[in-house]
Structure 1
Amino acid sequence: MVVLGKVVDAYGIRGALRVHPFADDPAAWAKLPVWRIGREGEAPENWREVRVLRARLHSGVVVADLEGVVGRSAAEALHGALVGVPRAGLPPTADDEFYWADLIGLEVVNTRDEVLGRVLGLIETGANDVLRVGQPGVTNLAAEKLLPFVAAVVLEVDVPAGRVRVDWEADW
């Protein structure tokens, strides 16, 4: 399951949802005919499939009307729910594009072949995305490295090999 966003509020009185996008290009995934709705920690196979009746971008969020969500109370009940789709349901990416979900867990090595850790997640900033690199299960934030996801730093992403090569020193 690839998480695309999170329901942050109801929109209007008819049951529309305001969905904060996590995924890049929310205009493209807003066109998907079916989404899955679930809660954090819930097994993906238990996420409920819902048909998207209408979805559009509005003030930085996706406003969506979903089948079976009628009225403001029904929309408010979904506050905090995650919106996702199975990976196979997403459109293919261009050669130099990646879904965040495909990057998480990849090993990160520098030009000296030193292992810096694994991609733990990504952070969206105004300027560029940032890779969170560290050891899975280690909660020491000081041990985590933040690497800008830009061509000058990220030299190669090889998803099939499970590796990201970066121009970044281990002691930075």
Structure 2
Amino acid sequence: MATDRICVGAIAGAFGVRGEVRLKSFCAQPEAIAAYAPLWTEDGSRSFTLRLTRGSGGGLTARLSGINTREEAEAMKGVELFADRDKLPNLPDDEFYHADLIGLEVLDTSGTALGRVKAVHNHGAGDFLEIVGGAAMLLVPFTKAAVPTVDLTARRIIADPPADLGDD
């Protein structure tokens, strides 16, 4: 697959004065992030054990090993946390880790290349694939109707974007 580590969360900021952090979990069950420790920075230069401390306004707060002051916690804001792939659950056939979709070639149903998946976005209304091809950028809903085939082995996606997707 694409990487040995998968992004499972990010530090949203400091919480309190003793080094706790506000944590945004990208896991289907947010609290599951604690089971995937140690968590790593994107470049792999630092790892952390994690202990959830409480909920905070719909989010989570946590203690990370080596983070002991509010200043250290504030300096972590925006840091993404990655778990080793082998600690994560195997997904059903119709579910995918975003990291596995990034970079896949996207073809339409007639075989015409649309581009490659640059990112997967979710702003609350479901996932969208950001597909970039040449100078064009396309956002396609990641639904069975718009994306009928994802073939990780062949590293390609077949998409049937809605006809009005490019209309203003």
TM-score (norm 2): 0.82
TM superposition shift of 1:13: 1.9
1:128 alignment partner in structure 2 = 126
Is it true that 1:164 corresponds to 2:162 in the alignment? no
1:20 alignment partner in structure 2 = 24
Is it true that 1:37 corresponds to 2:27 in the alignment? no
Distance in 2 of aligned mates of 1:12 and 1:156: 46
Aligned length: 161
TM superposition shift of 1:163: 0.9
Extract structure 1 runs of 4+ deviating beyond 4 A.
22-25, 169-172
Distance in 2 of aligned mates of 1:131 and 1:152: 13
Distance in 2 of aligned mates of 1:28 and 1:113: 39
Correspondent of 1:152 among 117, 137, 145: 145
TM superposition shift of 1:122: 1.0
1:109 alignment partner in structure 2 = 107
1:4 alignment partner in structure 2 = 8
Contact kept? 2:36, 2:84, Cα under 8 Å = no
2:47 alignment partner in structure 1 = 49
2:148 aligns to what SS in structure 1? strand
Distance in 2 of aligned mates of 1:56 and 1:99: 27
1:28 aligns to what SS in structure 2? helix
Correspondent of 2:116 among 103, 115, 118: 118
TM superposition shift of 1:74: 2.1
Unaligned runs of 5+ in 1: 39-43
TM superposition shift of 1:60: 4.0
Give the 5 Å matches for 1:27-106.
27-38=31-42, 44-46=43-45, 48-54=46-52, 57-106=55-104
